[in-house]
Chain A
């Protein structure tokens, strides 16, 4: 089984967005989910495209063109799907993030973990 590359923070956000959007994961929907996850940081659509290309090159996601739709001016969507390698990399990142979270809560206390905006999703 191929060992997945470690993920950058933005790559984790994009993979998590694809996971959340399921069948409806394409440029605009992924971007809106990434913005939601990265708030209050601003995220550009271009940055999402660059990361999707990189993840596709790494074999973590795959894409296909859907049928054209009128609300997009007759243009097709490029729909993305998480591949097994991407799922494994995301799972590893989540486990690491959880360990970091537990380590911080251990030092800073449980009260810190209950503050608004610090809850793990």
Chain B
């Protein structure tokens, strides 16, 4: 039985491109009903994503990126709003954009199409991460959350973080440069 088109589109959307072809084919081959297809997909796709992240994210490199991002936001805060560094929640406020940027980079690497990576493609991860961090800052700001950073710190910190993490990625390329991972 052919699975529903909408289900196939959803699976294709969430499955990283490096594994998309075989996962869609295997799920199609196993399909006996629409419900079974959805059940199979829900049990399979998250594990495929996690496995891809494991292959494309280097923990040491991620730690370096986290430090660089934290230093970027801290340095900008030091120059723009030094008293903020002594507030009780300041470290958490700085950690939020760092975490979101890192998450964006990890997902960008996992969902990158296999093949050669240009400098532009390597910078796409940090760019996506910083864009997410700015979006989250806007959302937190709109909700009057105490975790939102001032706009100046978010912008300049993001720009500095983008510059430094891109440079770091050019120097130490993420592990997966082949379709299957580290080969």
Contacts and interface: CB of A to CB of B under 8 A. Distances in A.
Co-complex (A, B): yes
Interface of A: 26-28, 31, 44-47, 49-50, 53-54, 56-57, 62-63, 65, 68-69, 71-73, 75-78
Contacts of B50: 50
Chain B interface main SS type: helix
Nearest to B47: A46
A27 B55 contact: no
B46 interface: yes
Nearest to A59: B183
Closest 6 CB pairs of A and B: A75-B25, A46-B47, A78-B22, A72-B25, A27-B26, A73-B28
Contacts of A69: 25
B44 interface: yes
Contacts of B22: 26-27, 65, 75-78
Size bin of chain B's contact surface: 20 to 34
A19 B21 CA distance: 23
Given A46-B45, A56-B183, A57-B182, A28 B21 contact: no
B183 A53 contact: no
11 contacts: A26-B26, A27-B26, A45-B43, A46-B48, A47-B47, A50-B47, A50-B48, A53-B180, A56-B180, A69-B25, A77-B25
Given A27-B22, A72-B28, A75-B22, 6 more contacts: A44-B44, A46-B44, A46-B47, A68-B25, A76-B21, A76-B22
